[in-house]
Amino acid sequence: MHDAIQWLHLLALGSLGLASLCAAVIFAHINGHPQRMGIMDAVWPICALFGSVVVLIAYFCYGVRDAEDATEAEREPAPFPVMVAKGTLHCGSGCAVGDIVAETLLLIFPAAATWFGWHWLFQEKLFAAWVLDFILAYAAGIAFQYFSIVPMKKLSPREGIVAALKADSLSLTAWQLGMYGVMALLQFEVFKPLLHAPVSAGTPEFWFAMQWAMIGGFITSYPVNAWLIRAGIKAAM
């Protein structure tokens, strides 16, 4: 059992380190080759924090095509599945920011979890944290969509907020549900039997689990984004 715990810890550190390296590589490259859609300068490195090498490869295969200094030949439209994936990552980056901020706040101020249901609504602190996760992830995701759609369609602030809500509300919710499902599976079926308690945000194991949870969010949000793009509710990227 002790060996399994040690290997889990090393695996978590290795995964987080590799993802951080991928994010740093993208950040360094994108800083010299900014995207035509400014918010994507943040989306790609943020998503590499959970998507790691896969997002790094996707960026150099398709993300660089959207750089301001890309040639006309390089700006060839991506296949529809890739456009959906980019839209899903755009949605997920806002969720990731909200979740990271929420979990960090509760790590610093654990008593704040009582405001979101801990002890009086949920016995598990994890569920109270999910309430705050959703609130901040939704707010960040809508903000990311707002700063994409307003310059793209030249909308007023009010029109931009309405358009962002229409474009991302369903996909954000789908992402969070997938994230919750994977996190619950890992916390209660892996960490609790192995470590005798769910892991907290102060451990590498938690953020390793969050990487997988975000991948779960991508999977559940992808078909929703595909429908939104086909229906013309969300712009293809």
CA 236/CA 82 separation, integer angstroms: 10
> Where are the domains positioned within the chain?
2-230
2: left (phi over 0), alpha (psi -120 to 50) or beta: alpha
CB atoms within 10 A of CB 153: 11
Q: Say what the pLDDT of residue 73 is.
A: 65
Cβ distance 105 to 112 under 8 Å?
yes
CA 203/CA 207 separation, integer angstroms: 7
Q: Give the torsion sign (CA, 207, 211, 214, 220).
A: negative
Q: Say what the pLDDT of residue 1 is.
A: 59
Q: Say what the pLDDT of residue 208 is.
A: 97
Q: What is the pLDDT along the chain (237 residues), one digit of tens a residue?
A: 577 789 999 999 999 999 999 999 999 999 999 999 889 999 999 999 999 999 999 999 999 999 998 877 677 788 999 999 999 999 999 999 999 999 999 999 999 999 999 998 898 888 999 999 999 999 999 998 888 888 888 888 888 898 889 888 999 999 999 999 999 999 999 998 888 888 999 999 999 999 999 999 999 999 999 999 999 888 887
Cβ distance 128 to 114 under 8 Å?
yes
